């Protein structure tokens, strides 16, 4: 995971074990403290905060209070918290509270649209992990399409070229 902008780290959690795909954790073990897994919250200024969740145990490279630069490595993608497959949950919010803040709209400066996952295939899978271990790659386009100042829609496959 890379910092989306310059900011200050306001919260981290780096101690939860990864789940074993394709199984989601027992719902009785999920609490407000562990639902988002290992995570980082960045204060971007002007009441905007970036949230990165479900990160790999022990991979987070920053501590609360640290200043980070755009593009700086924050940690690795994982499968912690309420998760059945490795993925990044990312959003921008209007306060530092992970569960108490409101999400705010944003766009991504630049990415490549590389595919579209067929909704019917995703819906038919028992879990996200079951879907990811099947033929999700069949939705890849022959040629990626560069996009600028947009937000990828649901079930799109994107890449962030250097």
What tokens appear for 129 in the block?
């992990």
The answer on 117 and 80 residing in a single domain is no
Q: Are 112 and 142 in contact (CB under 8 A)?
A: no
CATH of the domain at 55: 2.70.70.10
3-state secondary structure of 41: strand
pLDDT along the chain (162 residues), means of 10: 96 94 85 93 98 97 98 95 88 94 94 85 56 64 94 86 73
Q: What is the pTM of this model?
A: 0.84
How far the first Cα of the chain sits from its last, in Å, is: 13
Residue 125 lies in a domain: yes
Strand ranges for the chain from DSSP E:
7-13, 38-45, 48-55, 67-68, 89-93, 108-116, 140-150, 156-159
Residue 85 lies in a domain: yes
Q: Which domain holds residue 122?
A: 108-159
């Amino acid at each position: 995971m890379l910092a989306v902008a310059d900011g200050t780290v306001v919260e981290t959690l780096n101690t939860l074990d990864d789940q074993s795909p394709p199984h989601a954790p027992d719902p009785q073990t999920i609490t407000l403290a562990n639902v988002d897994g290992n995570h980082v919250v960045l204060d971007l200024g002007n009441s905007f905060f970036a949230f990165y969740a479900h990160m790999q145990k022990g991979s987070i490279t920053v501590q609360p209070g640290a200043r980070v630069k755009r593009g700086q490595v924050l940690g690795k993608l994982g499968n912690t918290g309420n998760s059945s497959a490795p993925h990044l949950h990312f959003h921008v919010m209007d306060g530092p509270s992970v569960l108490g803040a409101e999400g705010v709209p944003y766009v991504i400066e630049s990415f490549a649209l590389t595919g579209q996952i067929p909704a019917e295939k995703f819906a038919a899978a028992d879990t996200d992990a079951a879907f990811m271990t099947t033929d999700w790659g069949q939705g890849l386009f022959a040629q990626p399409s560069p996009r600028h100042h947009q937000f990828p829609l649901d079930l799109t496959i994107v890449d962030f070229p250097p």
